[in-house]
């Protein structure tokens, strides 16, 4: 069976999610603080988290979206996830998504984690454009992608539905020629 590439940075290791990660995913995806701008309602049970991990494995087999677990190398603890989805192979584009345990916010971790993922998407997956949709109130997330070189393209009005409320979202993107230059 195919497996995710493992990426290492100075402080982090990105690896495939496993069933051992279910408790972490359940905690992460039931946190109102984490999900506030995520565009997702809290998951209902650990069974949903198990299904998420199983779906990551199934998607890998068919070349679909991927989601890595972000591990703090110092503590060997899972602290977040990142990956890509919304793939359009004919147009060579996709979107990234990411989340992080609140105690790790503001430490430059997500930018560090996304760098090898972006390189992988442009070099190995042959993407030309990578997008990110971010709710305007999520200024920290906007800063993450802006520091990576993403450009804000515009506002998608009432683009995200979360808990019965529609939210606008900024569309950001970076092109292969911008990343690899």
| Predicted pLDDT at 2 | 66
Measured torsion, CA atoms of residues 10, 15, 21, 26, in degrees rounded to the nearest 10? 80
Looking at 3.30.479.10, 3.40.630.30, 3.40.50.620, 3.30.1370.60, the CATH number of the domain 7-179 comes to 3.40.630.30
What pTM, to 2 d.p., does this model score? 0.94
Rounded Cα gap, residues 123 and 141, in angstroms: 24
The string of pLDDT tens digits covering residues 19-33 is: 999 999 999 999 988
DSSP structural state of residue 5? P
With a CB cutoff of 8 Å and minimum separation 6, the contacts of 34 are 28, 99, 100, 101, 102
Q: Is 109 helix (H, G, I), strand (E, B) or coil?
A: helix
Residues of the chain with pLDDT under 50: none
Domain ranges of the chain: 7-179
């Amino acid at each position: 069976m195919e497996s995710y590439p493992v990426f290492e940075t100075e402080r982090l290791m990105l690896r495939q999610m496993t069933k051992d990660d279910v408790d972490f995913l359940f905690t992460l995806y039931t946190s109102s603080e984490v999900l506030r701008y995520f565009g997702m309602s809290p998951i209902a049970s650990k069974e949903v988290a198990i299904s998420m991990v199983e779906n990551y494995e199934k998607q890998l087999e068919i070349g679909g979206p991927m989601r890595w677990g972000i591990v703090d190398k110092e503590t060997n603890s899972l602290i977040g996830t990142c990956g890509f989805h919304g793939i359009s192979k004919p147009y060579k584009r996709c979107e990234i998504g990411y989340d992080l345990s609140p105690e790790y916010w503001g430490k430059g971790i997500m930018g560090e984690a996304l760098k090898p993922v972006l390189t992988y998407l442009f070099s190995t997956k042959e993407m030309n454009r990578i997008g990110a949709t971010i709710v305007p109130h999520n200024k920290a997330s906007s800063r993450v992608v802006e520091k990576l070189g993403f450009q804000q393209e515009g506002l998608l009005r009432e683009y995200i539905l979360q808990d019965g409320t529609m939210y606008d979202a900024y569309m950001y993107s970076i092109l292969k020629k911008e990343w690899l230059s």
